[in-house]
Structure 1
Amino acid sequence: MNIATRVLLEVQEMTLLVVWAARGLLKRPRYFSEWITQLDIIGVGSLTIILLTGFFTGGVLTLQTYPTLKYYGAQDQTGRLVAISLVRELGPVLTALMVTGRIGSAISAELGSMVVSQQIDAMRALGTDPIRKLVTPRLIALLIALPLLTVVADVIGIGGGMIVATTLYDLSANTFFSGVRDGLQYEDILGGVIKPIFFALIIGTVACRQGLKTEGGTVGVGRSTTTAVVLGSILVIIADFFLAKALQVILETPS
């Protein structure tokens, strides 16, 4: 089987997985308790790493760009540059990559372990749909948690940039936040929330698909986990390009 055929088959399988998971929302039982559990694991559990990532990303943006802006006499635009960079691009992408590494690997490993230990087969034998029980709650939790985590990363990143600007470069906080207010537009914020929704769908679908197709015992679990993280990260970066261009056209943001 050539690589093109394999890619098409994987796309087909992941699409069907999303469709089956969506159909699970229309039938009972809906396993709301599992939704809450996954929200806690994905959202609250990822908060620390997202806070650190956002803060130091904003800080390093200020650290690297302020000297250049000062050279051109535009240091008062530091807040604008940090805010636009975070909200449009770095916030959504870095948050998605962090969640892919932490949650995508966990989902794939968990489902893969259930496959090789025949727990999935036992669920089917007992009349429980594993897609509705295992996949749907994880996808829903990712679709809710990732946009919220992205907003947190953006806010903390802007705060980190402000702290670096005020402590290292003596730029006043008012000047920094004035640049933030002038730079951010409604379209930027909307685009920064839309991207994580698509990223969440990619991360969840890839992780669940790789976990459920695990073969070969514990070695296969490790292989599926690695594939889920690598493939999820690559797809997030590729999707980011096409989403950025689509949002430029749809929202008429500056290209």
Structure 2
Amino acid sequence: MYLYFLLFSVRNSVFRKGKLPLKQNLEQLWIVRCCAAVLLFGQVLLHLCQGKAYYRKILEHMVTAGPGSISPVLLVSGFAGMIFTIQTARELVQFGAVSAVGGAFALAFCRELAPILTASILAGQVGSAFAAELGAMRVTEQIDALYMLRTDPIDYLVLPRVIACCLMMPFMMIFAVMIGITGGVFAAWQFYQIVPEVFLESVRTFLAPSDLMIILLKGFIFGTLVAVNGCSWGLTTKGGAKEVGESATTAVVTTWVSIFMMDFVLTVLLSGQPNF
């Protein structure tokens, strides 16, 4: 915790008038706050090992990350499933591979598209909310008040949010897969007269239990990235309402970048195909 706020003090010095040009200020700010996110993740692991948690706060944030985010996940996954099925079926039907439409769609959607879409939605809705909430608490000195009450902000503010996102993200991804497959069934039947039985049988043939494990693993990791980035950018906010908004938007962008980078790493490690 002390190392984390040491970086926060370094971040404050970046904005001292005449210290550095604006471009260098912004570059140093981004680097320092990304390093702060890494340190915050380490602090979360330490506090998690100590078994400290506010379970009521965890449940509150689980509602936000789960039921509170169902609507956008439902809409995006449904339409994405229909769009991807149309594109897949258009190519495979030309070669007479009607029975492979469902399987080809399911492999790409379940392994990559559904996890990325779900994590991006929660980064925009949940991660930005975390950054804005903690940023507002930071600029109004509510976090300092927690120290006066002998309450660790990591235990009370950060750890419940991280646990909630880690628990709910895999379930939201599975929900997105189900909705996407449902949309795919509808699109295949409506536009290419592929009956649902053929489509679903192809899905069942191509998918394996390992694909479910990939979804759960990505959900756990992406949930951690969403929560840690959001909390980190919120806790390192300084200034007023404008800076709180900037922290929220930058937290989302940083989370998106980290999600795609981590997805690339996981794809390389789990596929076992590329040779370096």
Same fold flag (TM > 0.5): yes
Residue aligned with 1:46, SS: helix
Q: 1:28 to 1:243 in 2, by over 3 A?
A: closer
Letter paired with 1:116: V
The answer for the alignment partner of 1:131 in structure 2 is 154
Q: CA deviation at 1:186?
A: 2.2
Aligned partner letter, 2:96: G
> 1:113 aligned to 2:146?
no
CA shift, 1:11, in A, is 4.7
Residues 236 and 186 of structure 1: is their aligned pair in 2 closer, same or farther, counting only changes over 3 Å? same
Does 2:43 align with 1:20?
yes
In the alignment, the residues of structure 1 paired with residue 129 and residue 261 of structure 2 have an alpha-carbon distance, to the nearest angstrom, of 22
Change (3 A) 1:222 1:10: closer
Do structure 1's residue 223 and structure 2's residue 269 form an aligned pair?
Answer: no
TM-score, length of structure 1 as denominator length: 0.92
Counterpart residue number, 1:69: 92
User: Deviation of residue 146 (structure 1)?
Assistant: 0.5
CA displacement at 1:202 relative to structure 2: 1.2
Give the deviation of 1:15 after TM superposition. 2.5
Contact 2:37/2:233 (8 A) holds in 1: no
1:185 and 2:185 matched: no
Q: Deviations over 1:121-176 (max 9, x none)?
A: 11111111111100000000000000110000011101110011112221111100
- Give the 3-state SS of the residue equivalent to 2:238 in structure 1: coil
Q: Contact 2:128 / 2:252 at 8 angstroms: preserved in 1? A: yes
Which TM-score applies when normalising by structure 2? Answer: 0.85
1:6-31 deviation line (CA, Å, top 9, x unaligned): 77644542232122223333447521
Give yes or no for the alignment of 1:85 onto 2:108. Answer: yes
Q: Distance in 2 between matches of 1:113 and 1:7?
A: 19
Using a 3 Å threshold, how does the CA distance of structure 1 residues 119 and 6 change in structure 2: closer, same or farther? Answer: closer
Structure 2: runs of 5 or more not aligned:
1-19
User: CA shift at 1:55, angstroms?
Assistant: 1.0
* Aligned-residue offset at 1:189: 2.1
1:174 is matched with which residue? 197
Cα gap change, 1:191/1:201 in structure 2, threshold over 3 Å: closer, same or farther? same
**In 2, distance between residues paired with 1:4 and 1:246?**
31
- Give, in angstroms, the shift of residue 64 of structure 1: 1.5
Question: Can you give the 5+ residue segments of structure 1 that lack an aligned partner in the other structure?
Answer: none
Q: Secondary structure of 2:66's match?
A: helix
3-state SS in 1 of match to 2:150: coil
| Partner Cα separation in structure 1 for residue 167 and residue 154 of structure 2 | 19
* Equivalent AA in structure 2 for residue 14 of structure 1: A
Q: CA deviation at 1:76?
A: 1.8
The whole-number CA distance in structure 2 between the counterparts of 1:165 and 1:17 is 46
- RMSD of aligned alpha carbons: 2.0
SS at match of 1:215: coil
> Could you tell me the percent identity over the aligned residues?
34
Q: Distance in 2 between matches of 1:211 and 1:79?
A: 42
